[in-house]
């Protein structure tokens, strides 16, 4: 029991690391999503996006690519989250609003989760394991 309490105390002291790992994972996921959008535009058009809207789809891909990279490394992470919030807001409340819960594929649940996490990182910043923290520690 003593070892369990020691382990719990140790893990409680490192909850900032867990927060940072979520930020890193979200940044990588958004970066990969942006890469997929930009590297295979025909697949996006096959999903039903009109060719006239391809400029907007490219904008979404570039935003995910850059914003995801900023989130991942924790450098201007608030900016990286902020530029993606309108995109995920649109996806959550306009694109997936008509879908039912628990449907397969991209859905309302995933878009709302990513939107929520982006809002959290915008408000609270990158946390530990970030370039911002590294620079702050280097100056101190």
Q: What is the DSSP string of 41-68?
A: HHHHHHTT--GGGHHHHHHHHHHHHHHH
Tell me, what's the pLDDT at 45? 66
Tell me, what's the pLDDT at 100? 66
Is position 23 within any domain?
Answer: yes
Number of domains in the chain: 1
Domain membership of residue 37 as a residue range: 16-139
Percent of the chain past pLDDT 70, that is, above it, reads 88
Is position 4 within any domain?
Answer: no
Is position 40 within any domain?
Answer: yes
Is position 46 within any domain?
Answer: yes
Is position 98 within any domain?
Answer: yes
Per-position pLDDT tens, the chain of length 140: 888 888 888 877 788 888 999 999 999 999 999 999 889 877 666 666 666 777 888 889 999 999 999 999 999 999 999 999 999 999 888 877 777 666 666 678 888 999 999 999 999 999 888 998 889 888 87
CB 78, CB 125: distance < 8 Å: yes
Q: Alpha-carbon distance 44 to 85, whole Å?
A: 20
What is the pTM (predicted TM-score) of this model?
A: 0.85
Is position 11 within any domain?
Answer: no
Is position 5 within any domain?
Answer: no
Is position 6 within any domain?
Answer: no
């Amino acid at each position: 029991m003593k070892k369990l309490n020691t382990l719990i105390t140790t893990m409680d002291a490192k909850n900032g690391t867990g927060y940072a790992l979520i930020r890193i994972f979200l940044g990588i996921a958004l970066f990969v999503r942006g890469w997929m959008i930009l590297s295979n535009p025909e697949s996006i058009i096959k999903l039903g996006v009109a060719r006239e809207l391809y400029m907007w789809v490219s904008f979404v891909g570039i935003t995910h690519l850059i914003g995801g990279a900023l989130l991942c490394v924790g450098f201007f992470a608030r900016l990286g989250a902020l530029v993606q919030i309108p995109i995920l807001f649109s996806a959550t409340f306009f694109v997936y609003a008509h879908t039912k819960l628990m449907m397969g594929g991209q859905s309302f649940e995933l878009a709302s989760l990513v939107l929520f996490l982006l809002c959290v990182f915008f408000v609270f910043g990158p946390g530990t394991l970030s370039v911002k923290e590294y620079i702050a520690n280097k100056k101190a």
